[in-house]
Structure 1
Amino acid sequence: MRDVMRVVEVTAFGGPEVLSMARRPRPEAGAVPGKVRVQLKAAGITIADLRIRAGLYVDQMGDLRPPFVLGTDFAGKLLDPAPGEASGLAAGTRVAGFLPWYDLLTGEGTYAEVIWADPAWLAPIPDDVDFTTAASVPLAVITARQGLDQLALPPGATLLVTGASGVVGRFAVQLASAAGLRVLAVAYEGDESELKILGAKECFPRGEADQVVREALRLAPGGVDGVFDGALAGSAVLPAVRNGGVFLSFAPDRIPPSERDIRVEFVRAKPDAARLTDALEKVSNRELVTRVADVMPLEEVAEAHRRAEAGRRPGRIILMI
């Protein structure tokens, strides 16, 4: 009998109760040309996971329907040597990456003990970075980096980052500040001092959208040059943007209609092993800071989704596998 592994399946679209432990065949060495197996130790829960499970993205999923396995972020150990450009990664190497779930639409995600991975997704984990921390980084830091690339704001421009307490928003604050932008951060109360240390020029607590807009316009009277919408506030914060500015979201259903010549963008991150390797090294050197909100066993995935949706503690919730 073929070996099996534990996975978490979405059995129907709905609330966290639709998540169920299941058994699926364990990947066999060499069965998928060009791919390598990774024995997972940790997987991150993302906003996209919650929205896919709830059925908000059905129209973008082609023919894929439950049961399927969620998950993008991962950290674990290589079971096979990685060929090609990643030839330096031997079996047993600790690696992190993210699986481009939406590009593949196979229904095979990282809520599982073993996954198939393209070597081009993989970055080695520095020795002093644990699996939990590593699993919080990949999708968030690449989303922030590629999102800032799309915003294309020049040094000195003012950027409003909503959801700055979350893991994507925190990376956006740090990377934008390093790029010379004036960052206004909207965050959980109590995070202001830390976010200023991380690079925010001004920081104010989250609240109703009109309050956020008023505060942003007080700090940038002509309107901000751009918005990195980590809180998925959507059109409600568009009035904070100056005429001809730019607005970016990472949820396709939270993109506002353009007005006043504002360029509206959507970012769906693509794996970038070189940038992820650099980011993990910076995390190791304390040059970049991530945030883990909670760590829970795979079997408690439904409760983990409930906590993620409640948003009581900003940051990435990690499933230990």
Structure 2
Amino acid sequence: MRVVEVTAYGGPEVLRMARRPEPEAGDVPGRVRVRLRAAGVTMADLRIRAGLYADHMGDLRPPFVLGTDFAGRLLDPAPGEEATLPAGTRVAGFVPWYEELTGEGTYAEVVQVAPEWLAPLPDDVEFPSAASVPLAAITAHQGLGLAGLPAGATLLITGASGVVGRFAVQLASAAGLRVVAVSYEGDESELKVLGAKECVPRGEPAEVVRAVRELVPEGVDGVFDGALLSTPALAALKDGGVFVSIAPDRVPASERDIRVEFERARSDPRLLTDILQKVGNRELITRVADVLPLEEAAEAHRRAEAGHRPGRIVLMI
């Protein structure tokens, strides 16, 4: 089967097409095969490829295959808590790549996954849209759960224009939080439609904090750090607030009794099923920025690194 490998740490040029044996049914006990139709390109993929996590990856070294989010069809029946999904079922999910550290990701034609990593895909959600959802939406949902803010509290969401940030805006607003969103210029109206109460422009961290403090002089109750600002963003918080980071290398030290949490998405098939159904019902909005064939994975990374792209870049397989 075709895969895209990281051949060495570096820029997008280190991504190369390769051939690997297609897995057979039962190769890995407890795993089922999915023939992929789409795979999302995440910021974590870019950071892993660049070698930013190289010191935290155990014995894993290139070549390896990147990719977490996927959408496709089951090749094997997948047992679940309530029923078995038959072969042929349209599914989406994410591979906990960083926890597994096998180097077997979703930039491939077929993947082997644990049944709890996936959920059935509603008929009215297309594969590219589905591949933009799982990791981002679950990260946002579980991160907001870690924050534990009550309705009426004020939450600053950095990186609100990004894929995780957009889900965080929608979910936080639905939970009754006052959302202050850090956005790219031109995204303000859309983010307000999604649920942001106020928007401040993206910029240097000190400028962002200054703008937030003008809106909320006493400081916000929480920060969901989708833009990975880390320590500088603590200045936007009131004493005793809560800060949620979504990258292991961007977790700030606590100060002023601020509770600091790190969110790494955990598999939850019931939650993913609910999220995908909400996407199908248009209760949650996702956006695909670009769709490229698998063999153009390097170009997908270049576009993702180039700056503001409103939505997930997806590889079609």
Please indicate, yes or no, whether the TM-score normalized by the shorter chain is above 0.5: yes
Structure 1 segments unaligned to the other structure (5+ residues): none
1:83 matches 2:83: no
State the Cα distance separating 1:185 from its structure 2 match.
0.5
Look up the match of 2:208.
212
Does the aligned pair in 2 maintain the 1:86–1:119 contact within 8 Å?
no
Aligned equivalents of 2:294, 2:92: Cα separation in 1:
18
| Deviating 4+ runs (over 6 angstroms) | none
Does the aligned pair in 1 maintain the 2:184–2:308 contact within 8 Å?
no
1:269 matches 2:265: yes
Q: Give a deviation string over 1:71-102, Cα, whole Å, max 9, x none.
A: 00000000011124263311110000000001
Aligned equivalents of 1:108, 1:228: Cα separation in 2:
30
Does the aligned pair in 1 maintain the 2:33–2:113 contact within 8 Å?
yes
Q: How does 1:1-321 map to 2 (within 5 A)?
A: 5-85=1-81, 87-321=83-317
3-state SS of paired residue (2:77): coil
Q: Which amino acid aligns with 1:171?
A: F
Q: CA RMSD in A?
A: 1.0
Distance 1:45 1:216, change over 3 A: same
Q: Which amino acid aligns with 1:139?
A: L
Q: Which amino acid aligns with 1:302?
A: A
Aligned equivalents of 2:156, 2:192: Cα separation in 1:
14
Percentage of matched positions with identical amino acids: 76
Query: TM-score with structure 1 length normalisation?
Result: 0.97
Aligned equivalents of 1:88, 1:252: Cα separation in 2:
35
Query: TM-score with structure 2 length normalisation?
Result: 0.98
State the Cα distance separating 1:312 from its structure 2 match.
3.0
State the Cα distance separating 1:109 from its structure 2 match.
0.4
Q: Give a deviation string over 1:245-284, Cα, whole Å, max 9, x none.
A: 1111111111112111111111100111111111111111
Q: How many residues align?
A: 317
State the Cα distance separating 1:231 from its structure 2 match.
0.8
State the Cα distance separating 1:35 from its structure 2 match.
0.8
Q: Give a deviation string over 1:275-295, Cα, whole Å, max 9, x none.
A: 111111111111000121111
State the Cα distance separating 1:206 from its structure 2 match.
1.0
